[in-house]
Amino acid sequence: MQLRRRVVPDIGLGGGSNLHPVLARVYAARGVTSPEQLDLRLTRLLAPDGLDGIDVACDLLRTAIANDARIVVVGDFDCDGATGAAVALRGLRMLGATRVEVRVPNRVLHGYGLSPALVAEIVANGVPDLLFTVDSGIACNAGVRAAKDAGCKVLVTDHHLPPERLPEADAIVNPNLHGDAFASKTLAGVGVVFYLLLALRASMRAGGAFAMRAEPDLSALLDLVALGTVADLVALDHNNRVLVAAGLRRIRSGRACAGITALIEVSKRRAETLTASDLAFGLGPRVNAAGRMEDMGIGIACLCSDDVGAARELATRLDAINSERRGVQQDMVDQAEGLVASLRLDGELPPVLCLHEPDWHAGIVGLVASKIKERVHRPVFAFAAAGDSEELKASARSVPGVHLRDLLVELDRREPGLMRRFGGHAMAAGLSLDAALLPRFCVAIEQLARERIDAALLAAEIWTDGALEASEIDLALAEALADGGPWGQAFPEPQFDGQFEVASAKVVGSRHVAMRLLHAGGRAFDAIAFSAYQGRVPDGRIHAVFQPIVDDWRGERRVKLLLRHFEPV
């Protein structure tokens, strides 16, 4: 593992910014050069009118509301899709829609997005006037066609990269459409929905819709927007940081919806000090677990509930499902590591890995791909059977510099028909193919990877913000770093590196290691390394990558070191 330190440019915020000096250094290393880039007020949001197609989409929705039309919101089975569906449902009702419902595909029965199978199930109970997709639809040509043939109007909202041929929807809103002028291309699916609601409210305002009633406050939806944005791992550019920061402010002030509040409780977080990291690792996995293991309808019901008791009951179910997910995931990761070990016996690992076991759970393979990718630092495709069919589905995760969807586009050009479907982003993608074609796929993607991937991109690296003097590591710094977010994709949490003497170490639980570390400057710090125990506790000198965090044990606030990586010196 190679440790690399971020370069701090000479041009930064300067000494007059009133920032903690270490935080100022961290910001400079992330390209922050002006106070405006740290202004996260909602007034700094980009205007919705930059999104192509948004006027047509607003016309569709305004007409549907005026005509008391039946609107079916089609969500997705991840946290972004769930929060997006909840925002659409809540927002449309706030704006006057009375006949709105949510449907979400079942991963096994319907496949991804607005599929013909899902459309058939929806229209069997009466043809809706408008289908409104969230976090999906841009690649659902067959499903959109089926909906149109059934007599529905279709509004697609998505953020995934579009295929060459777009679906024949009545309106499409997606910042990643070719030629779209919207400046932020990293909106999550829930962010696209929120922007559409902002534009719809402005359109209704211009038409006099609020002359006789109060205009709804759509900022009430920002807790959901923050959760979906962070959980989907989209880059936190300035616009997304504004959205997430506003959502966190709402949660910390005690104004979160009942579902978010209940999820905070079951994940044993504190609303008053909630961070983006808590959304990513506490709340997000519990919502995602429903779509991976059972039915995302449970997650959406929790996020849509206004009843505190019902929300707590649903959040408790999500917590239980997540516990089951962790067990299944660990078994699958153990199997995957065995597959990787067998590949190592043959020599160097290939530049891309294809992993498959017959009994793997289709909802968990994305997590397996992510875990193995972190350990071998190369793209990983993890395959599972698609129900009882002869089809396999894969989730893939990549490393910086290797664009997964571009690889799949090139593979499809070379081997037309090999994949039934594919889509995704630079860092995450999915595909399906006939089970019999798996060996052919593995050979083809490995050959393509050898041609396209620079070997230097596959070298495992950990980036840090440099060393800290012992005198700099204190509660004030830990609080400044916690308050300096939101941190996330493309705006990473600060972490530092340095050498310490291990004064003591012990195993906590079954896999965590608690330590007392002596800094070269003479001070001692308590430290914790989660899931780090591998048969022996560290001793002697170590080089550690760490984060100073606030430890609020029994009401006493002090600084503690969270170790992200360590190795003997």
Residue 289's CATH number: 3.90.1640.30
Distance of CA 170 to the CA centre of its chain: 28
Residue 18 pLDDT grade (very low, low, confident, very high; cuts 50, 70, 90): confident
- Can you tell me the distance from the alpha carbon of 392 to that of 402, in angstroms, rounded to the nearest whole number? 23
Pick the closest to residue 37 from 266, 285, 242 (CA basis).
242
- Residue that is last in its domain, among 459, 476, 495: 459
Q: Are strands 421-424 and 100-103 parallel, antiparallel or unpaired?
A: unpaired
561, 547 in Cβ contact below 8 A?
yes
Tell me the mean pLDDT in the region 466-494: 95
Residue 267 shares a structural domain with residue 343: no
Pick the closest to residue 334 from 366, 363, 372, 376 (CA basis).
372
Quick check: is 178 in a domain?
A: yes
Residue 379's CATH number: 3.10.310.30
Per-residue pLDDT tens over the stretch 537-568: 999 999 999 999 999 877 789 999 999 999 99
Residue 489 shares a structural domain with residue 453: no
**Taking the CA of residue 279 as centre, how many other CA atoms within 13 Å lie in the half-sphere pointing to its CB?**
29
Tell me which residue range forms the domain holding 207.
43-319
Residue 482's CATH number: 2.40.50.460
- Residue that is last in its domain, among 319, 346, 375: 319
465, 24 in Cβ contact below 8 A?
no
Residue 434 shares a structural domain with residue 482: no
Quick check: is 128 in a domain?
A: yes
Q: What SS3 string covers 183-243?
A: CCCCCCHHHHHHHHHHHHHHHHHHCCCCCCCCCCCHHHHHHHHHHHHHHCCCCCCHHHHHH
Q: Which two tokens stand for residue 2?
A: 């190679």
Residue 230 shares a structural domain with residue 291: yes
Write the DSSP assignment of 358-409 as a string of letters.
TT--TTTHHHHHHHHHHHH-S-EEEEEE-TTSSEEEEEEE--TT--HHHHHH
Q: Which two tokens stand for residue 93?
A: 């009702």
Residue 303 shares a structural domain with residue 352: no
* Strand (E) or helix (H) holding 501: strand 496-508
Residue 17 pLDDT grade (very low, low, confident, very high; cuts 50, 70, 90): low
Q: Which pLDDT value is given to residue 129?
A: 98
155, 57 in Cβ contact below 8 A?
yes
Per-residue pLDDT tens over the stretch 152-184: 999 999 999 898 899 999 999 999 999 999 999
**Whether the predicted pLDDT of 113 surpasses 80:** yes
* Domains: count for the chain: 3
